[in-house]
Homo-oligomer: A and B are copies of this chain.
Amino acid sequence: MSFKVLSAKLAAAADQELMSTGGFSIDQLMELAGLAVAEATHKSFPLLKDVLVLVGPGNNGGDGLVAARHLKLWGYNPSIYYPKHSSKPLFQNLETQLKNLDIEFISSLNAINNYQLIIDSIFGFSFKPQGGIRPPFNEVIQTVNKTSIPILSVDIPSGWDVDDGFVEGGLRNPDVLVSLTAPKPVANHISEKTQHYVGGRFIGPKFAKKYGIDQYDYRGYDQVLKLSKI
């Protein structure tokens, strides 16, 4: 079975609708998205504490910053690599929250092998691989690819094409993919071995129907659901 997916165009429209007629602020949505990422991390790697969060310049990066905060409060030890800071107030505030928790912002990846897990929140569904991956993220991805550290990717594996999957220069296949709102087409191109979670428990049945996505059968108060390809 393949996943019902949300194209990049529809994903952008869905985000836009959530934040206009949906009444959500980006603060709320990012909080819930980041929480979903943190929960998927906890479910997938309950024993790994030293987490490196690779943060890109856009909203995908913001999801990673929120996830790092939750993980720290849950007893993990996240460090942040965030080479292209956003100057938007929301992002600066997320940085403040992390610094108040004594979360380390590292300035190079020289010690990458000290980490047990990498959270890839570099690029999201709006990344276009046609122009290549701009520095420093091209090198960041190559540095990660030289390691065997497990990777959890936020929404799409960074550097991949949202529709067609892996592109030369992109991240190696992640161990875990956390699709936000709903899987993107790229989810049907990841390895069968990749654990796939969906985190979109902020949308209701009418919204799911309008966008042609599944209403997932989340459990209890979980913000994520592990999907199966079977």
Contact = CB atoms under 8 A, between A and B. Distances in A.
A45 to B, nearest CB: 13
A70 B31 contact: no
The quantity of this chain's copies bound in the complex is 2
Q: Range of interface residues on chain A?
A: 35 or more
Contacts of A204: 72-73, 100-102
Nearest to A97: B23
A189 interface: no
Interface stretch (A7-15, A88-96, A145-153, A160-168): A88-96
A205 to B, nearest CB: 8
Interface string A80-108: 00000000001011111100111000000
A39 B221 contact: yes
A217 to B, nearest CB: 10
Given A22-B100, A206-B100, A74 B28 contact: no
Given A72-B204, A201-B73, A204-B73, A24 B221 contact: no
Contacts of A28: 27-28, 31
Given A23-B95, A70-B221, A73-B202, 11 more contacts: A25-B25, A27-B27, A27-B28, A28-B31, A31-B31, A35-B35, A39-B221, A74-B218, A74-B220, A101-B204, A101-B206
8 nearest CB pairs, A to B: A23-B96, A23-B93, A27-B27, A101-B204, A23-B97, A25-B27, A31-B31, A39-B221
